[in-house]
Structure formats: structure tokens, C-alpha cells
Amino acid sequence: MLLENKVAIVTGAASGIGEASARRFAREGAMVVVADIRHAKAEAVAQAIRDEQGEAVAVEVDVADAASVEAMVNAAVAQYGRLDVLFNNAGTLRPGTAVELSVADWDFVMAVNVRSVFLGAKFAVPHMVAQGGGSIINTASISGLHGDGGAICYAASKAAVINLTRALSTDHGPQGVRVNAICPGTIETPPVKRMMAEPVVLERNVNAHALRRLGRPEEIAAAALWLASDESSFVSGEAIVVDGGLRAQSPLGVLADPRPASKRA
Ligand SMILES: NC(=O)c1ccc[n+]([C@@H]2O[C@H](COP(=O)([O-])OP(=O)(O)OC[C@H]3O[C@@H](n4cnc5c(N)ncnc54)[C@H](O)[C@@H]3O)[C@@H](O)[C@H]2O)c1
């Protein structure tokens, strides 16, 4: 029970990585605020947690909106009396090159992916400081570590999340607040399953990972759990890569071996 007596907010918790994390946090003893813009789905996740004898409430939030994020944090503290963990996980993607992408889509993605992290910290940190510390986790992406094309705003926003994580950890570390990011590879969540419907896209993604498969939401939840818990008590300002070996590979793959990966020992 790594999160016994801890209170955790997970945003984007109605689906994918957020849902898996909310469920895992609850199984580890946390009281969980299941926060999402899709309230009915968030309610269903909170109910599923309670059905497993866990503790959870659903809160409707738009993470891009200041008043909404403030209300979410206040709801967590009103319900459970404290706030130990904030997992800023909700995010979005709008495809497009610089020529294709509309200015409105640029602003939308930056608001949902980056302003959200600023707002989460803005309203959560005072509670964490007052009680002696806390852990903030932000979902970035491997797209924040290199220049993925075709979704320039997503790549820029996730790079911003990584450096915002470092800056937040610098400001609030002295007050006992740890701030870290997670950079997932390609994880099988509902939007990714839709993107991978085309076999050639799926194959390209599978082969990009050294483990030759996509990740599961539970595998990101496990990393989030570690960062949320006291097991990572001396870790702050980091961007932890959980990508099945994607980033470790050179685009060449293996040198001087013409056999396909499946035929190598
Ligand atoms: N799946 C991947 O391969 C992958 C890889 C790297 C990073 N990520 C990041 O992981 C995070 C979760 O993505 P996922 O793949 O689990 O997607 P998902 O669609 O399964 O879950 C995202 C959730 O965020 C919610 N959400 C969206 N906008 C919101 C808003 N303004 N306010 C509140 N909630 C909002 C959605 O309703 C949804 O339930 C995102 O930040 C995403 O960029 C995903």
C-alpha cells in the first residue's frame, strides 16, 4: 500500500493512462479525485474504484480553465482534508504542420497541455506547502524530447511540460514539493488505438520500440505510482522516460546484421 492515507488528484482520469493511474493509486490506498472534462465517464471510473472497496470521487474539470482547476483542487481538499499528489495527466493533440495548423488549434493544445500544468501547480502547491510537501507528476511525452513532425504543437507543448517541470521543482523543492514528468512512448489508449487502425502505422510504431510492442496504460501508471509515493522521495525535476526502448535505438537499428529483428538471437 504505497499511497496509504494519501489524497491524489488525477486529471484525464476518465480514460487511458489517467484511468489506469486512478485505479492503481486507489488500490495502493489513496483517496482519489477522478478529474476529467467528461464527467459521466469520470463518474463511472470512480464508481468502479468504489466497487473494488477503494475510495474515489469524480470531479468535472476543464484543465485549461483557471476557475475550474481551482474548484477541482478545492473540491479535493474539502472532500478529503488534504492534497498529497497531483497528477497533471490530461492532454490533447491536434495534427498539423506549421502551414496546416490553425492558430486556434495551436492555442487550444498549448492551453490543455501546458497552461494546465501551470494552473495545477498554482492552486495545489499552497495546500502541499501548508501540510509539509507533496508530489506533482506531469504527463509529457517522448514527443517532447525530439522533433516529431506532423503535430508540431503537440511536440512543442510536451517539451514545454518537461522544462516547466524542472522550473517548478526548482521553485518548490525547498518547500518539500517534488515535481516530475513522465515521457511515455506509444501507449495503447483509446485515441492511440484509433490512430493505429491503419496496419502500416501500427507496424511502424511497434518497430520503433525495442520491445517490439506498444505500452499498456498500466505500465505508465506504475511509473506514476512510484513518483507519487515516498519510494521516489529524493527524485525531483526529472522527466522519466517509459518508452519500451524507443529512444535508445538509433534509426539504423542494428549495425552490420542484415537479418530482420525477428531472426536475431
Ligand atoms: N497514449 C500515448 O501513446 C501517449 C504517449 C505520450 C503521452 N501521452 C499523454 O498521456 C496523457 C493521457 O493520454 P491518453 O493516451 O491516456 O488519452 P485518453 O484520451 O485515453 O485520456 C485523456 C483524457 O483527458 C481528458 N481531457 C482532455 N482534455 C481535457 C480537459 N481540457 N480537461 C480535463 N480533461 C481533459 C479526456 O476526456 C480523456 O478522458 C496525455 O497528456 C497525452 O498527451 C499519451
Regarding the beta carbon of 190 and ligand 1, being less than 6 Å apart is answered: yes
Asked if 36 contacts 42 with a C-beta cutoff of 8 angstroms, the reply is yes
Residue nearest to atom 32 of ligand 1 (CA): 62
- Region 84-108: what's the mean pLDDT? 98
Whether 154 is catalytic is: yes
- Region 172-180: what's the mean pLDDT? 98
Residue nearest to atom 1 of ligand 1 (CA): 187
Domains and CATH numbers, the chain: 7-187+216-245 (3.40.50.720)
| More confident call, 262 vs 125 | 125
Angle among Cα 180, 183, 185 to the nearest 5 degrees reads 160
Which long-range contacts (C-beta less than 8 Å, at least 24 apart) are formed by 40-45?
41/14, 41/15, 42/13, 42/14, 44/14, 45/13, 45/14, 45/19
CB neighbour list of residue 126: distance below 8 Å, 6 or more residues apart: none
Angle among Cα 27, 32, 38 to the nearest 5 degrees reads 115
Say whether pLDDT at 263 is over 90. Answer: no
198-254, pLDDT tens digit by residue?
999 999 999 999 999 999 999 999 999 999 999 999 999 999 999 999 999 888 877
Averaged pLDDT score across all residues of the chain: 97
Asked if 27 contacts 54 with a C-beta cutoff of 8 angstroms, the reply is yes
Cα 56 from chain centroid? 19
Say whether pLDDT at 178 is over 70. Answer: yes
Atom of ligand 1 nearest to the CA of 186: 3
Q: What is the predicted pLDDT for the residue at 53?
A: 98
Q: What is the predicted pLDDT for the residue at 250?
A: 84
4-49, pLDDT tens digit by residue?
999 999 999 999 999 999 999 999 999 999 999 999 999 999 999 9
Regarding the beta carbon of 187 and ligand 1, being less than 6 Å apart is answered: yes
| Whole-number Å distance between alpha carbons of 246 and 218 | 18
Atom of ligand 1 nearest to the CA of 191: 19
Distance 111 CA to ligand 1 centre (A): 13
Residue 112 DSSP symbol: I
Q: Which residue has the cell 501548508?
A: 130
List, in sequence order, every residue forming a beta bridge with 36; answer none if it has no partner. 60
Regarding the beta carbon of 94 and ligand 1, being less than 6 Å apart is answered: no
Cα–Cα nearest to 84, from 218, 176, 217: 176
Regarding the beta carbon of 64 and ligand 1, being less than 6 Å apart is answered: yes
Pick from 147-151, 162-166, 251-255: least confident: 251-255
